[in-house]
């Protein structure tokens, strides 16, 4: 049976790493940045451009006024949705981010949400990012991610009812991946 696992995660919660570990454990394809590259190719935008635009909710008003068609961010979301649907149609995989849970809502996916308290995530951000104000940086990432998700889906970011399993990553990356693997095994059995 085809196994599609989607993972949404709070910035700095280690959700991407959990997804990667999980994919290795279950021998599944793993899509995250690869997804963006694929989207870029599909939409005709450059990979760099897609990366920057990926978490912006809408283009600026000024830019939009010049556009006669959909705003760039909406065009990108549509292109990305198409890529995600194609990947899911191809076979079992783990997809991190990109509202894949919502885009694949007609499929029977195992949906995961990973989170952690702000201070824990801040610690990870400090280790991984060279920015001036880490707290401000994290705050902005949180706002962007929540706004992006709530704008493009009809769900509300972090609502337990929308997920098969949600987990605080403080239990550990490997333990979280193990729990998800065990639960997904039963879900797809």
Residue 172 contacts a second copy per CB under 8 A: yes
Q: How many residues sit close enough to a second copy to count as binding (CB under 8 A)?
A: 23
Residue 91 contacts a second copy per CB under 8 A: no
Q: What is the DSSP letter of 46?
A: -
Binding mask 118-157 for a second copy (x = CB under 8 A): ----------------------------------------
Return the H-helix or E-strand segment holding 79. Answer: helix 72-90
Between residues 89 and 171, which has the closer beta carbon with respect to a second copy? 171
Among 3, 115, 121, 124, binds a second copy (CB under 8 A): 115
CB 103 within 8 A of CB 157: no
- From the CB of residue 85, how many other CB atoms can be counted at a distance below 10 Å? 15
Q: How far is the CB of 82 from a second copy (least distance, A)?
A: 28
d(CA 63, CA 34): 28
Q: What is the DSSP letter of 104?
A: T
List the structure tokens of 80.
């990305």
Specify the stretch interacting with a second copy by CB under 8 A; choose among 35-43, 53-61, 70-78, 170-178.
170-178
d(CA 144, CA 160): 20
Cross-strand pairs, 4: 93
Q: What is the DSSP letter of 171?
A: G
Residue 102 contacts a second copy per CB under 8 A: no
Residue 175 contacts a second copy per CB under 8 A: yes
List the structure tokens of 90.
């191809």
Residue 40 contacts a second copy per CB under 8 A: no
- Residues at the interface with a second copy (CB under 8 A): 113, 115, 158-161, 163-168, 170-172, 175-176, 178-179, 182-183, 186-187
């Amino acid at each position: 049976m085809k196994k599609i696992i989607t993972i949404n995660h709070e910035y700095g919660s280690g959700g991407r790493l959990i997804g990667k570990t999980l994919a290795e454990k279950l021998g599944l394809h793993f899509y995250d940045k690869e997804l963006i590259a694929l989207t870029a190719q599909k939409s005709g935008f450059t990979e760099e451009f897609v990366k920057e635009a990926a978490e912006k909710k809408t283009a600026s008003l000024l830019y939009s006024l010049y556009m006669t068609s959909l705003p760039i961010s909406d065009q990108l979301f549509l292109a990305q949705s198409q890529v995600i649907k194609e990947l899911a149609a191809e076979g079992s995989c783990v997809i991190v981010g990109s509202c894949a849970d919502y885009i694949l809502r007609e499929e029977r996916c195992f949906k995961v949400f990973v989170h952690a308290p702000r201070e824990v995530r801040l610690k990870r951000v400090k280790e991984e990012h060279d920015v001036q104000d880490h707290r401000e940086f994290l705050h902005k990432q949180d706002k962007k991610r929540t706004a992006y998700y709530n704008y493009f889906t009809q769900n509300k970011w972090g609502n337990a009812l929308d997920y098969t399993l949600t987990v605080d990553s403080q239990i550990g990356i490997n333990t979280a991946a193990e729990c998800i693997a065990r639960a997904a095994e039963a879900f797809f059995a």
